[in-house]
Amino acid sequence: MHELPIVVVPVGVDDDALDACLAALDLCTPPGTRVWLADDAQAGPRGHAIVERWMARTPLKADYTRRQRPIGEAAHLGEALDVCGDADVAVLAPDAVPAPGWLSRLSGCLAADRAIATATPWSNAGEAASWPRIGEIDPLPADLDRLARAAQGMPTLYPELPAAIGHAVLLRGSARKRAGGVDGASYGSWYAALIDLSLRLSGLGWRNVLCDSAFVARHGEGVPGDGDMDTLAVRWPDWHARLAGFLMSDPLRGSRERLTELLAGVGPPDPQRDLFH
């Protein structure tokens, strides 16, 4: 079995969300997975205590770094990804709650097609990758284990997305480097910088896809920084029309309906079944 990607979690200011994210990481990610908590001077005393307690107990191979002064979300993630070199990296939002099997399935997506540069899972707050309704924010699913088992039965079609989405995204290291990495100088938010990176990757012939078999829940959608959308509009004049066209045509409707059908048929869990593989 190939080595799983590095998971990078940019630590945020919401302590309760971070606590839930780290707990879900422990439950839903194979032991020994490399995880990097990258703190752009965001966590307060309680957040730091949550990180310390988690670091002492997690079965994952975890590291934590904290900057003395913040440099901004996009710039900080750009630095972290540069440090990871050619490695594939999954960036997980600090308020995300991954479902079982999330990372193995995202990794399998990149392994299945060498043209895939970014793989984004379903989410209840995933914009173009939202389930059960496109472009809407739904509450966190009540039973992520059942949803993960339903998603495992999805046909892996890896349909195209307008851009990768920030609740969780797996980035192919070699593609990321060829595209020039994250532009932390032009954008303040990861939300906008990820769209920009996705569009550059697409322009080079790479694919930004939905991993139809993986699900990562989130409390809310990402938001752009001040001026970020204006910068995007200047650099990528057709972006807004492209996104609007995708939302209106809704090419993922059949996939969402299939996931809903599979969820309705999911029975009790098999204790012998390993959801990580």
Instruction: Show the low-confidence residues of the chain (pLDDT under 70).
Output: 1-2, 269-277
CA distance 259 to 153: 8
Give me the CATH topology for the region 6-264: Spore Coat Polysaccharide Biosynthesis Protein SpsA; Chain A (3.90.550)
pLDDT score of 276: 46
Neighbours of 245 (CB within 10 A): 12
Domain coordinates in residue numbering, the chain = 6-264
pLDDT digits (tens, 9 = 90+) for 55-110: 999 999 999 999 999 999 999 999 999 999 999 999 999 999 999 999 999 999 99
pTM of structure:
0.95
Question: 176 in helix, strand or coil?
Answer: helix
